[in-house]
Amino acid sequence: MDRMPRWADLILVPLISILLAGLISGVVILAIGENPLRALGIMVSGAVGSTYAWGYTLYYATNFIFTGLAVAVAMHARLFNIGAEGQATWGGLGIALVALYLPWPHWTLAMLGSAVAAALFGAAWAAIPALLQARRGSHIVITTIMFNFIAAALLNWLLVGPLKPAGTMETATAPFPPATHIPSFRDMFSFGETILFRSTPANIAFFVAVAACVAVWWLIWRTRLGYEIRAFGHSEGAARYAGIDATRIIMVTMLISGGLAGLMAVNNTLGYSERLILNAVEGAGFIGIAVALMGRAHPFGVFLASILFGILYQGGGELQFALGIPREMILVIQALVILFTGALDNMVRMPVEMIFAERRRARAPIAAPGPARSSPGHMTPPSDPGKPAE
């Protein structure tokens, strides 16, 4: 029997963790001489108070959805993919090559081709750590972390060398052709003189991210491959005994994970920058770890956690601008959320589990006392219906 209902695991425990993180954050803001309630109001208004605010919030959330799903898929196979940062970086390289060197007649085809390239490049960057894990036993955490730095160094070399346009000093590629520009939220949701999401980076990639959530849910819980991934994650030994090829599961899982991380570049490289720039990922690969943990590796949980972290990012920027709070304090608030939803998860989970266990025991029916049993080796003779009881 589960220790708590699924809804409590996905919603209640993270909500309590967020409230605790918010309480401690309020104390931190109070300690630097600011009003916590005023700061909260600025954060909420700056993140969700207008279409402008929502445009930035959903842009950040889109990045986190892709990287959160990447980490979540690997977690189901008990693989801790720390390399989403490098895989997303490599996905951006794939998009840049496709967008710059292939002729595209329309943005729909350009987006489809770029998404395929981003997924393939991200998967390729995850394939080497996966192969080392499957064949050599190299720890996936160590190898994926190392590959983050290798990806950043290679991109730096490419942007100051082969991909650098002539006559420029900026570490970026040339702008992508207009035919590759995908619709922004302003293009999609402005009608006549009513202009929404003005000057915001949110674009159609958000809906691609939502579709990715649905696809991952279907893969993990509705396909044979998903069952094998979950079985391998629950018990590698039992999975091997059942005939599941461990090497295949590790490779396929990491390829899917890397592909999802690479797809993030559709949002930030193709949709926003419209060129490949240095440090385009901006730490979203690491935030994806916190998103996957907070979302309990479930696509719906990842979606909700991504929206929350999008609010934190956008609201934190507004808070810094409005009150002059140092950027480091904004990072402290974000770190507190990660701390309570990740490292201190059991501090919240265990009391909640105890409460639900007590409720189950209170609702359980009390069993009626049964007939007395004879002692071992002694048989009680059947009673005579016609004989009066003594």
**Long-range pairs for 350-355 at CB < 8 Å and ≥24 separation?**
352/4, 352/8, 352/12, 352/13, 352/16, 353/3, 353/4
| Alpha carbons 224 and 213: distance in angstroms, whole number | 18
CA angle at 259 for the pair 263 and 83, rounded to the nearest 5°: 95
pLDDT given for residue 28 in this prediction: 86
Residue 171 and residue 240 in contact, taking contact as beta carbons nearer than 8 Å = no
Nearest to 130 by CA among 191, 200, 164, 83: 83
Residue 69 and residue 260 in contact, taking contact as beta carbons nearer than 8 Å = yes
pLDDT given for residue 1 in this prediction: 46
- 64-312 CATH: 1.10.3470
pLDDT given for residue 191 in this prediction: 83
From first to last of its 390 residues, the chain has per-residue pLDDT tens of 457 887 887 788 888 888 888 899 889 888 888 888 998 899 999 999 999 999 999 999 999 999 999 999 999 999 999 999 999 999 999 999 999 999 999 999 999 999 999 999 999 999 999 999 999 989 999 999 999 999 999 999 999 999 999 888 889 999 999 999 999 999 999 887 888 998 999 999 999 999 999 999 999 999 999 999 999 999 999 999 999 999 999 999 999 999 999 999 999 999 999 999 998 998 999 999 989 988 889 999 999 999 999 998 999 888 888 887 777 777 888 788 878 877 777 788 888 888 888 888 888 776 555 555 554 444 445 555 444 444
DSSP 66: H
CA distances 53 to 48, 58, 63, 311, 316, Å, are 5, 9, 16, 9, 12
The overall pTM is greater than 0.85 = yes
Hey, what are 165's tokens?
A: 């346009």
Cβ-based burial of 237 (10 A; exposed 0-12, middle 13-18, buried ≥19): exposed
pLDDT given for residue 167 in this prediction: 84
Where do the DSSP E strands lie in 246-316?
Answer: none
Buried b (16+ CB within 10 A) or exposed e, 118-147: bbbbbbbbbebbbbbbbeeebebeebbeeb
